[in-house]
């Protein structure tokens, strides 16, 4: 299993690291250090030694991620599209709400928005005659 040097699973960060023991004359004093070994960090306590191998549940998680890569990519694209579609509809609804509220307070409203809302008769955009009030 080819795993990168660090990743996160269930909120725990795992890092592959070398460590120096601090003993005088040890080979680690002049080299990289002992290891590499896996250490875990949960954000609340000091690093915990895991060992030269990752726990089985972590290996399984990483394997599942690799095997599910294409499916996860497709899911993300589909969710992103749904989110963006909803956001576009939200922005449109916000513009329409502002237009209706502006209309109620006597402010000028863009004629295209009025037309799209079926309110073209306001702001002088009606079919009856130029600026003549129309019965609603």
Residue for token pair 């960090």:
41
Predicted TM-score (pTM) above 0.75: no
Determine the pLDDT at residue 86: 97
Determine the pLDDT at residue 32: 85
- Which of 3-7, 60-64, 84-88, 129-133 has the least mean pLDDT? 129-133
Q: What is the dihedral of CA 91, 97, 101, 102, to 10 degrees?
A: 40
Q: Tell me: the pLDDT tens digits for 39-88?
A: 999 988 899 999 999 999 999 998 999 999 999 999 999 999 999 999 99
Q: Tell me: the pLDDT tens digits for 89-123?
A: 999 999 999 999 999 998 989 989 999 999 988 86
**Cα(117)–Cα(98) distance, integer angstroms:** 12
Determine the pLDDT at residue 133: 46
Domain ranges for the chain, please list them: 6-67, 72-124
């Amino acid at each position: 299993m080819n795993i990168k040097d660090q990743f996160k699973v269930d909120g725990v960060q795992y890092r592959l690291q070398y460590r120096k023991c601090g003993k005088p004359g040890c080979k680690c004093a002049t080299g990289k250090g002992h290891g590499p070994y896996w250490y875990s960090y949960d954000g609340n306590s000091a690093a915990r030694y895991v060992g030269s191998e990752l726990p089985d549940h972590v290996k399984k998680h990483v394997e599942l991620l690799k095997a599910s890569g294409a499916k996860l990519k497709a899911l993300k694209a589909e969710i992103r599209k749904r989110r963006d579609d909803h956001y576009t509809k939200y922005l449109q609804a916000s513009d329409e709400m502002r237009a209706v509220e502006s209309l109620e307070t006597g402010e000028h409203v863009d004629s295209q928005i009025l037309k799209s809302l079926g309110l073209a008769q306001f702001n002088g955009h009606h079919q009856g005659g130029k600026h003549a009030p129309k019965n609603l």
